[in-house]
Structures are given as structure tokens and as C-alpha cells.
Chain A
């Protein structure tokens, strides 16, 4: 086991995923704390550009593994490639974003290596010589400090949006070619089709104002109050996942880890509890107003202004008030 922190980089079309930049920031913190070196790990096909970008991300090394079989994510190829590289040089910790891809990959790696995996990590704590990883549990209401009682390497996936991307400075980055042999890998999953499930495109990222509705609306018939408010404000309507799952609004209006990310000047969260998967899509909004019947709803932790109340009562009142103020 080496004194290295590896960060597996998610990338698409030559762009590094934000979740990977966040993981690199976390890796940087850890590498300073533990006095270890930081190493970015790239798998792909014709991705020299990604490696070059990483050279300006304040990492000591970039391990670049290129193979035509790694051009598209496949759990068998990716798992084997990572295991082969780590067999030559096993890191202390392997970090990666808690993305849908890594949810599919990381536990397979952990099982293959019989090594510990902590998912959805938001940060760490040091208790003397022990590292504790902070993550959410119990309906996203509680934090847990988790410690690992087994050998390294440890695999940690980072909750998107939990770590700020820090400003890194260029250091002398070495790009190392990682060679793998995937000829013996039996791929047991075929990719048939990849598609975007949004028929109508609504670019919510351009909206200055958004009125977002969540499970608290309770039924589609109540959506009228949201429409009226949005119209009065000149705002776009958006939704959290449960509203889309119930087909009360289309997927093109979804905000969060499975939908769009927005940062409007004004974001009104109506009947949205504030689950981490939604928050990650709107937390950088300038002004957040939360209206929710539950005073303990996590949304109040990131809101600028909060109203504890029934949206079916508060929202029409708000629309009424806005009309009065506009006319005066």
C-alpha cells in the first residue's frame, strides 16, 4: 500500500465532471492532512485532453489508462482496469464522485478487492489517528461519522455538492501511462442504447426566477396555485423528483441530481423537503425562499427566508400580495 490518494475522474467529451473536481478538492485536503501525494486516475479512450486538463488541477500525478474498451463505461472493463492498476500500486484511499456511474461501479470494485467502501461522503473528521468519514443516514436526517475497520485501500465516494471546489495552483504534474490488458475480461452486460429522456427542452438554467414545487403539493389539481405564482413573478416552474415521478410535471422541469442544475436570482421552494439530491441542483441560487409545513425540513438549512406553513394557504396569499404590490 502506497502513500497515495487516488481520485477516479468522471469525464465526458473531454470535460471533467464537477463531482470529480469536488473529489479532487477533498483529496487535496486529505493529502495535506495525511502527507500523501495526490493522484488523478483517468480511464478512457483518446482522453489525453482530460489528462492535460488535470495537470492544472494541482495533482502530483495523473495516471492515464487508455484503451478502446474503456471508451464507454462498462462495469467489467472498468473494474478490471482499476484493479490491474491498483495491483501495481495500491493507494491508501481511492476517491470518486458519488455519481450514478460510480454507484454502479464502486461496490463491484469493493467486492472484487474485498475492501471497504463508504458512499456519499460529505467530509471527514480526525480523531487522533483515526479518520472518520461523515455521511447522511436515516431519511437524510442524521449525520454519521463512519470509521473503517479493515485494511486499505479504502474506497470513498463523495456526495455531489458537499465539497467546495477549491482554487488549485499548478504544480509539477507527472502524467504516467497506465497499461492494462482487458483481453481476458468477459463483459456480461451489453449496452444497447443511450438516450436523453426529455422530449421538450426547457433550459431552466437561464431563468432568473424559479418557482419549484415538491411533494407538499399533494396532488396535480393543486398545481394551479403554483402556476399563478409563477405567472405573477414571471418565473419558470420547476419540480423536485417526486412530482415528476407522479407525472404531475414533465421531467424537463426536474431540478436535482437527476435533472437540471440552476442558480437563479430567486428560487422559491414550495413543499420541497430539501433532500440532498434536490439541493445539489439549486443550492447556488442567490436568494432561496422555502415554504414548508415541516419546521424541521432540511430545506430551511439553505434557505435565505423561510415560511413554516401550508403551501396551499401561503402560495395563493403570496400571489395576491405580489399583485397588490405590483399595482401600487
Chain B
């Protein structure tokens, strides 16, 4: 089985964001990066399928060269190889453009499944996987919680999440695109052996410009302004040590809010 899993590097979840002077981006100096949460789960699903059905997992990244660090972590977890399309000027910074780049790379690759995160922690558009499926003419399922593959029949079943606690099992023939929801399993830690082995695994680097893609031919989204939401909070933040603060809270809940 051949599985490609897309991996994007994003600022660490505990980042205290700062906006640049131009007001259209975040300050990147001194930032720590990590694999976008949904992409971690996507990689975990790919590795589980590889273990069950025997196969190869390739990590595919469109991003800055620093992404190599996160890719190496993915290789340490058990992926076999990686392809990094280096986009250091962030030219492919919206979903259509990224999907176009991915489709171009995948044209010369063989695969049964393409896994992507449902959304990324930075821009959070949640579109790339489905756009990619349409560009490649492949079936897709989103917000996938569970995957079952029938290698003999070349079909895949996916459990997708719907509103209000409802779920749907769907079936598609492979190759297919699945976007993976976060939190659906336990993401494995790289073992020491995995880390050592990862050093020998190939990260093929391709420069975005060498693909000669017309990124202007797809819809463009641009950030006009990035900012902290105005705090519309009228929350009474109670201050003091634990016992003083709870005493005040209980008093207010009784007398002011009248909910006790």
C-alpha cells in the first residue's frame, strides 16, 4: 500500500502571538514550530495502515525549508521518505495554490491513499484536501475518524463525522483523499531507533519555482489585516487567593446572578 500524508509545520500551540509592524502577519523570530495537530493524526493513521497492510508512507510538505525539522520527526515516527517543496517566500499560501502544487507533485507518483489534516492550526482554512481531490478527480471524505482498507478490492471505508454526534460510513475506491480529524487516536512518540533510522531516510527537496506553476491562475486570498479580537468581555475577573476568590464568586452567584 502506498500512502502519502501531507504535513504542515505551524507555530507551537502555546505561542504567544505577536503581530508584525505591517499588521498582516505574525512575528516569527524566536518561534518554536511543530507539526499541525490534524496532520499528526493523519500521519498516525498512515503509519497504522502501513503496519496493517504493509506498505510505504511518504510525507509531503509544501512550506519553508525549516519544515525539514518537523518532517524528520515524522520520519522518526515511521514514515519512509519525504518530499519537501520549498516555498520560502510563501508564494503558495492559500488552499488552492497549495493543492495545485500538491497535484503537480503527485502526477509522477503512485498512491492508494492521500491523507491530509482536516484543517491547519495556522490559517485554519480547511480546504486543501477537498480541493486536491477535485483537481485529481478523486473521491474524498472529510473529518474522518476511522479508516478501513480492503487492499484486494482496492476500496476504502471511512467513518466521517456529521453534525450533532452523528457519523457516516462511506465507501470509495482507491486512490482516494481523506482529511483526518484530530484527537481520534494516540499519536505515537518516535522511538530512539526510529530517530536513528530517520537520519538515513530521504527528504527530496524541490524548489517551488522549478515546478513552473502559474499560481496566479487559482483564486487568491490575501490577509489585509491580522489582529487580536477586541475583547468584548465584560467578565468580572475575580482576584485573590483561592479561598478568597471562591468566597466572592459564591457571594456574587447568590446575590448578583441569583443562580444559587
| Assembled-state Cα–Cα distance A30/B252 (Å) | 41
Residues of A within 8 A of B130 (CB): 103-104, 106-108, 111
Interface locus among B9-17, B60-68, B200-208:
B9-17
Provide the main secondary structure of the chain B interface.
Answer: mixed
Write the B124-154 contact mask toward A (1 if CB under 8 angstroms, else 0): 1111111101110011111100000000000
Of B99, B129, B166, B242, chain A has the most CB atoms within 10 Å of the CB of B242
Report whether A197 and B123 are in contact in the complex, using a CB–CB cutoff of 8 Å: no
| Assembled-state Cα–Cα distance A209/B133 (Å) | 45
| Cβ contact of B127, chosen from A100, A110, A325, cutoff 8 A | A110
| Assembled-state Cα–Cα distance A303/B235 (Å) | 5
Is A4 interfacial (CB 8 A cutoff)?
no
B257 → chain A, closest Cβ, in Å? 4
Report whether A305 and B249 are in contact in the complex, using a CB–CB cutoff of 8 Å: yes
Report whether A197 and B235 are in contact in the complex, using a CB–CB cutoff of 8 Å: no
Give the residue name and chain of the B residue nearest to A97 (CB).
B163
Report whether A192 and B259 are in contact in the complex, using a CB–CB cutoff of 8 Å: no
Report whether A103 and B126 are in contact in the complex, using a CB–CB cutoff of 8 Å: yes
Is A112 interfacial (CB 8 A cutoff)?
yes
| Assembled-state Cα–Cα distance A305/B150 (Å) | 53
Interface locus among A37-45, A51-59, A140-148, A219-227:
A140-148
Q: Total number of A-B contacts with CB less than 8 angstroms?
A: 260
Q: Which residues 243-298 in A have Cβ within 8 Å of B in the complex?
A: 245-246, 251, 254, 257-260, 265-266, 286-287, 289-290, 295-296
Q: Can you list the 5 inter-chain pairs with the closest CB atoms, starting with the nearest?
A: A245-B183, A107-B130, A111-B134, A116-B219, A188-B139
26 intermolecular pairs with C-beta atoms under 8 Å apart: A111-B96, A119-B126, A120-B124, A130-B224, A138-B11, A138-B122, A139-B11, A141-B17, A142-B19, A143-B227, A144-B223, A145-B225, A145-B227, A147-B221, A149-B219, A188-B138, A191-B170, A194-B168, A258-B163, A301-B233, A304-B257, A305-B237, A305-B252, A308-B239, A309-B245, A317-B246
- By a beta-carbon cutoff of 8 Å, the part of chain B in contact with chain A is 11, 13, 15-17, 19, 26, 95-96, 99, 118, 121-131, 133-135, 138-143, 157, 160-173, 182-184, 218-229, 231-239, 242-243, 245-247, 249-250, 252-254, 257, 259-260
